[in-house]
Amino acid sequence: MTHIELRGVQKFFGEVQVIKDMNLVIEDNEFIVMLGPSGCGKTTTLRAVAGLETIDEGDILIDGKVVQHLKAADRDIAFVFQSFSLYPHMTVYENIAFPLRATRQSKAEVDRAVRQVADVLRIAPLLKRRPSALSGGDMQRVAIGRALVRSPKALLMDEPIGALDAKLREEMRTEIKRLHMKQGSTTIYVTHDQVEAMALADRIVIMNDGVLQQVGTPDDVYTHPANLFVAQFVGSPVMNVAEAHVAETASEARVVMPGAAEGFVFPRTLLGRLEAGGAKGDGLALGIRPEGVLVERERREGYLPVEAHIIEPLGSHDIIDLKVGTQMLRARTKAGFVPRPGEKVWVRIDPAQAHFFDAESGRSFGVRL
């Protein structure tokens, strides 16, 4: 049972504030992914929890106990580094056994623990090798093994698979997920890769510029991003964001993008919902993921005619840049749906997938139709 809590944590590097008033509660057995661009403070936060970094304000609690004054060694937490940092002068076996050697366990106990972890991670045949003779994936398995061997209260991972190539990364991602389901330990995992975050997390913690942006399940942050930053950081391809204003007709609302002759059709309820959300009419940003931009080859009721600009064939699907007024919208279509650039297509925005943000502050109005 491990429960980690951050209360009003602040951290400065000289003049620069790298963590700004961070509050977070992590439940037992939860897999938390901290996601953000590089330099957003996620790694510093992780290192602060581990005790490798001091904090300037606030409290860090592990199982209700304030730990920010405790040494890393006394927090009973394991850390997996991006660089793996296996000791080159020790064999794989010695590397995994190393944390146990700090405790007063008998040789037989150490041996049993090492072999058990090696079995779980499927690295038993490698135990006698030196780290330099391992592949990247195996190095990371060993590093995880070293972290798990003493059954720590929590497992912290700092971009553990960021240094691997794409194929291996996918493999290890599955492996880490499998391991977490099997071992089930409280885990904090730092990454800048939103796919990794979505795939692994119970809850995602999104940070930017030292500020916590949103905490939620992958589904939550994907479908209800709290602001423009989260909306554009999560999801690939990136969510379209366009200036827009809402015009009213007798039966419907129209969302018009600048320079466009006509607006996209939305239900009339949009107006009331926007007002309730605090929107003032102008300074509105429309957010729509590429799969929410519906494309047809034939003219249809409620669809606007536009031109396809650039087509990126990705095999399973295509990404098409459409010029709407002065702005571009990217749409996701079936592979080969629009044969070549310059074709005229008809497009509509799925109201159910549209997001509305305050263009100034980036805050979401929380309107979902």
Partner 1 sequence: MAAVKTPRQKVANQLAIAAVIVIAIIFLAPIYWIGSTAFKPRALATTVPPTVLFQPEVTPFVKLFTRRVQLNRPVEPGAYEAAPWWEKRIYDGGERVLRVGEDVQLSGYPDRFLNSLIIAVTSTLLAVSMGTLTAYGFSRFRVAGEQDWLFFILSTRMLPPVVVAIPMFLMYRVVGMTDTHIGLIILYTAFNLSFSVWLMKGFIDEIPKEYEEAALVDGYTRMQAFFKIVLPEAATGIAATAVFCFITAWNEYAFALMMTNRRAQTAPPFIPAQVGSGLTDWTTIAAGTFLFLLPVAIFTFLLRNHLLRGMSFGAIRK
**Which residues are at the interface with partner 1 (CB under 8 A)?**
50-52, 71-73, 75-79, 81-89, 98-99, 102-103, 130-132, 134, 136, 139, 146, 150, 163
For the purposes of burial, counting CB atoms within 10 Å of the CB of 88, is it exposed (0-12), middle (13-18) or buried (19 or more)? exposed
In order of 20, 303, 341, the CA distances from 11 in angstroms are 7, 51, 50
CB 101 within 8 A of CB 135: no
Alpha-carbon dihedral 27, 29, 31, 34, rounded to 10 degrees: 40
Buried b (16+ CB within 10 A) or exposed e, 223-249: ebbbbbbbbebbbeeebbbbbbebeee
| Residues 297, 338: Cα–Cα separation, whole Å | 8
Count of alpha carbons within 13 Å of 202, Cβ hemisphere only?
A: 15
For the purposes of burial, counting CB atoms within 10 Å of the CB of 335, is it exposed (0-12), middle (13-18) or buried (19 or more)? exposed
Parallel, antiparallel or unpaired: strands 186-191 and 31-35: parallel
List CB contacts of 339: < 8 A, sequence separation 6 or more: none
Parallel, antiparallel or unpaired: strands 293-296 and 344-349: antiparallel
> How many other β-carbons are positioned within 10 Å of the β-carbon of residue 212?
23
CB 260 within 8 A of CB 274: no
In DSSP terms, 317 is beta-bridged to 334
Least distance between partner 1 and beta carbon 56 (Å): 15
CB 61 within 8 A of CB 67: yes
Least distance between partner 1 and beta carbon 79 (Å): 4
